[in-house]
Chain A
Amino acid sequence: MTFLTLEEELMYFATKQKIHEQLERDVKTQGYMLIEPSFFEDYDTFTRMNPRLKKETMVKMIGQDGKVLVLRPDVTTAIMKQVLPKWDQHELKLYYLSTRFKMNDLNQIEEQKQFGIERLGNGSKEATEDVLLRGYQVFENMNVDYMMEISDSRWINTLIQEMTSDLSVQKAIKNWIDYKDRYALDMWLRDQKMTSEIQVLSRIFDLQGTMDHVMKKLEDIRLSDTLMTILNDLKRIESRIESVGYLKKTTIDLSMISAFDYYDGVMFKGYLKSSTQPVLRGGRYDPLTEQLGRKCPAIGFTLTLKDLVKEVFQS
C-alpha cells in the first residue's frame, strides 16, 4: 500500500499490529503454539511435489554446492519438513506468522506475510471441522464481508484418475477446471466414451451452491461408493456450518481446484470482497507428510495478511 501521510501510514501499521495480536490471541487460547519455519526449500523436491505450480513464480537461489534452492513459496511444506522428523505421534497444534516469497509478473520478488494454523496427528472429522470453523472465525472476528468456498480434492482427483492415467492429460483437465473453461473441457469430453465420470465432469461447473442443489444435479447419475462417501462427508460439514450459522457465507463448489497438489480431502478458500485472489486457503493434506517421509494426519489453513489488513483498514 502507498500512503499520503506518515500519520496514515502509522495508523495502518497500528491496525496491522492489532490484527496480528488478535489472530495470535484467538489461536493461543485454543492451544495452538508458535512455530518459525526455515526459509529455503530444495528446488527439485518442491517442484516434483507441486507439478502444477508455475516455476517462474518461484524465487530461486543457488547454494555454495551448486544446489538450486527456492525461497519458501509455501509455509506449510517448510513447517512439515521441520516438524515431522521429530514428531512423536501426539496431536500437535501449531500456528505461524511467516513470510512466503513469490516472483510476480513484473519479475519482482513479492513478500507475502501469512498467518496460518496446522493441526497434526488428528485425522478425525471433528478436527477437520474445527480447523475449517477457525477459518470462518478469522473473518467473523474481523467483521468483514467474506465468502467461503468448500470442496474435497478427492472428488476431482477420483473422477480424473478413473478416466486417464496420463499425467499430462490429468494436468490439462485440472487446468481447464481451474479456469472454469467449459469450452475446452467439453471439447475434450466430446471424444470420450460415456461413463458416469464423464457425465459428472460435463456438469462439473453446475455443481455449486448448497449440497441440496449439488445432489439434485447428480441425482440421475450412478456414482461410485468413493464419490458417494465424499458427498456425504461434505454434507456433514455443511450441516456443521449451518449449525453455527455460517451457511449464508458458504458455497460448496465441486469444481474447485487448489494450486497445491498436496491436499487430500476437504479443502477450502476464503474470499474478501476487496481482494483479487482468495485470501484464505486450507485443507487436509496427509499426502504431503508422506512425501516428506512420514505419514501423519494433517490439516490447516493459511491467510494472506495484507489483504485482510487492507480490508479492515479501509472499513
Chain B
Amino acid sequence: MKKNLTIALPKGRLGDVAIEKFRLIGWANTIEESSRQLVFYDENMGVTYMLVKPSDVITYVERGVADVGIIGKDSILEEKANVYELLDLGFGKCQFAIAGKSEQSLTKKDEVLKIATKYPNVTKAYFEKKAQPIEIIKLNGSVELAPLVGLSDVIVDLVETGNTLKANGLIILETMMAISAKLISNRVSYRFKYDAIRALVKHMEEL
C-alpha cells in the first residue's frame, strides 16, 4: 500500500545514521548518498525523502512540507518546535553542558556570567531557574574559542566525546541534559496520515 509520506532528513552524520536505520526496515532504498540530488522519490512505497540542512528539518516539518523528520533533541529545544516527538531513536547521543576553564566558577555573586553559545534559547531557559544573572553571546561555531580569548566566561554547547574541549584546555563544569535523535511529526499530518506514521514508528521501535 502506498504510504504517501514525505520525510525530512538532516544532511550530515545524523542523517547518514538515520538512512542506515531506514534501510534496516526496508525503506530509503532510493536514496543515493553520493548524489547531489536533494529529493528522492520511492515510487513503490510512495515515500519522498528530502535531504535538508539539519537546522531546517524542523521548519520543513512544522510547515507540513514534510510529514515526519529526524532531528536531534537539541534543535527541538532551541527552536521550541511545535511538533510531535514520536520516538527516541537512540542514536546521535550527546549532552548539553556548560564548559569553561577549570578554575571558572558558575556563580559570580553580583557579576554577570558571560556565556557564548550556538543555543541562546536553551541557555536562557536553563539559567532562568538559577539566581545567576547572565549575558548570552550568540556564536555560530568554534564556541570553544570564546573563553580562551576572553569573549565569555563559559560556553554552553553539545558535548559528545569531550575531545574538542580537552584539546582547548576546557572542562565540563556542569552537565545540563542528555540529547539524542528523535522522530518528529507535523501535528496535522499525524491526524491525516495516522496509520502510515504509526506504522513507521512501530517499525523503528522494533529495531
Contacts and interface: CB of A to CB of B under 8 A. Distances in A.
Contacts of B62: 276
Interface in B46-92: 62-64, 80, 82-88
Q: What's the interface size class on A, roughly?
A: 10 to 19
A179 interface: yes
Contact of B188 (A181, A183, A271): A271
A301 B41 CA distance: 40
Interface string A173-187: 000000111111000
Given A271-B192, A276-B64, A183 B88 contact: yes
Given A276-B62, A276-B63, A276-B64, A180 B188 contact: no
A190 to B, nearest CB: 13
Given A272-B188, A277-B187, 15 more contacts: A147-B191, A181-B85, A182-B85, A183-B88, A183-B182, A184-B85, A208-B194, A251-B191, A273-B188, A274-B64, A275-B188, A276-B186, A276-B187, A277-B82, A278-B188
Given A149-B191, A251-B194, A271-B188, A179 B63 contact: no
Contacts of A208: 194
Nearest to B63: A276
Contacts of A278: 187-188
Nearest to A205: B86
B188 A182 contact: no
Contact of B87 (A105, A183, A273, A277): A183
A275 B80 CA distance: 19
A182 B183 CA distance: 11
Interface string B175-207: 000000010011110111010000000000000
A119 to B, nearest CB: 26
B124 to A, nearest CB: 11
Residue among B64, B185, B188 having the largest count of chain A Cβ atoms under 10 Å? B188
Interface of A: 105, 147, 149, 179-184, 208, 251, 271-278
Residue among B83, B185, B187 having the largest count of chain A Cβ atoms under 10 Å? B187
A251 B88 CA distance: 25
Given A276-B64, A276-B187, A277-B187, A182 B86 contact: yes
Contacts of A272: 188
A249 to B, nearest CB: 11
A279 to B, nearest CB: 9
B188 A276 contact: yes
A276 B66 CA distance: 11
A242 B158 CA distance: 51
B55 to A, nearest CB: 15
Contact of B85 (A105, A180, A251): A180
A260 to B, nearest CB: 16
Contacts of A277: 82, 187-188
A5 B172 CA distance: 57
26 contacts: A147-B191, A147-B192, A179-B85, A180-B85, A180-B86, A181-B84, A181-B85, A182-B86, A183-B85, A183-B87, A208-B194, A251-B194, A271-B187, A271-B188, A272-B188, A273-B188, A273-B192, A274-B64, A275-B64, A275-B188, A276-B62, A276-B186, A276-B187, A277-B187, A277-B188, A278-B188
Residue among A147, A179, A208, A272 having the largest count of chain B Cβ atoms under 10 Å? A179
A117 to B, nearest CB: 23
Contacts of A182: 85-88
Contacts of B63: 276
Q: Give the 5 A-B residue pairs with the shortest CB-CB distance, closest first.
A: A183-B88, A180-B84, A181-B85, A147-B191, A271-B191
A208 B201 CA distance: 15
B8 to A, nearest CB: 14
A133 to B, nearest CB: 19
Contacts of A273: 188, 192
B199 to A, nearest CB: 13
Contacts of B84: 179-181
A56 B156 CA distance: 23
Nearest to A147: B191
